[in-house]
Chains A and B, each alone.
Chain A
């Protein structure tokens, strides 16, 4: 049973981690894009 939990635990953590990485990256790039489009401090 511990091998089963270990295997699924690893897969869930890896896949969930990847989803979180994608969401955070998308939010960060979108926020930077907004700054640039508004001509804010990041544009310079």
Chain B
């Protein structure tokens, strides 16, 4: 059930090349923004990291649903792996966004801004999920409770995404998919960066899953 080591290694190598290409595009190809200057290039990792975090939390949701349905240990393992990777990516999103905000908004953080606060809540939900999984005695009860937290916690993902349209917020809406929203050079750089970060998230989840499986095998061997 664990992802094959050779396939994971291949994906990791492919992603390393893709990340190098994305870096080259961000540094040498994508033009500086006419209004914000070079600081706008934070966009090429800030937004893909947020999208990849959404995807990781969607995996936690699916893993939780599958676990509640058939109590598959693999589904629980996958959910735990994805929650950790999602948390790392949400940290990247929050900190990069905060650093970007300083020269543009004049402050690192806007208290009670809907997008910022809902993203911080998302971080706290999955940090709580991982803390609970670490503290709780491994077993059926912890896995079931974790699945419920992972499912309920996902409610915050659409809230984060649509917060910019549901409430008045200083954070700009994401309109990269709209025709003409970004010049072609920026759009290509964004597409390659997004692909690289999404593949990175998948590779990290794969390796984290294998680590969890190995830990469980070790615990079982020690119990014998």
Q: A interface vs B, CB < 8 Å?
A: 1, 3-4, 6-8, 10-11, 14-15, 18-19, 22, 25-26, 29-30, 32-33, 36-37, 43
Contacts and interface: CB of A to CB of B under 8 A. Distances in A.
Closest CB pairs A-B (n = 9)? A7-B99, A7-B96, A7-B42, A36-B221, A29-B214, A11-B92, A3-B39, A26-B211, A33-B218
A19 B204 contact: yes
Nearest to B99: A7
B218 A32 contact: yes
Interface in B187-221: 200, 204, 207-208, 210-211, 214-215, 217-218, 221
B99 A10 contact: yes
Interface in B73-90: 88
B14 interface: no
B92 A33 contact: no
Interface class of chain B by DSSP: helix
B88 A4 contact: no
Contact of A3 (B100, B214, B217): B100
Interface of B: 38-39, 41-42, 45-46, 49, 88, 91-92, 95-96, 99-100, 102-103, 200, 204, 207-208, 210-211, 214-215, 217-218, 221-222
Given A3-B42, A3-B103, A29 B218 contact: yes
Contact of B99 (A6, A22, A25): A6
Given A26-B207, A33-B214, A10 B39 contact: no
29 contacts: A3-B99, A3-B102, A4-B38, A4-B41, A7-B45, A7-B46, A7-B95, A7-B96, A8-B42, A10-B96, A10-B99, A11-B95, A14-B88, A14-B92, A15-B88, A15-B92, A15-B200, A22-B207, A25-B211, A26-B207, A29-B214, A29-B215, A30-B214, A32-B218, A33-B217, A33-B218, A33-B221, A36-B222, A43-B222
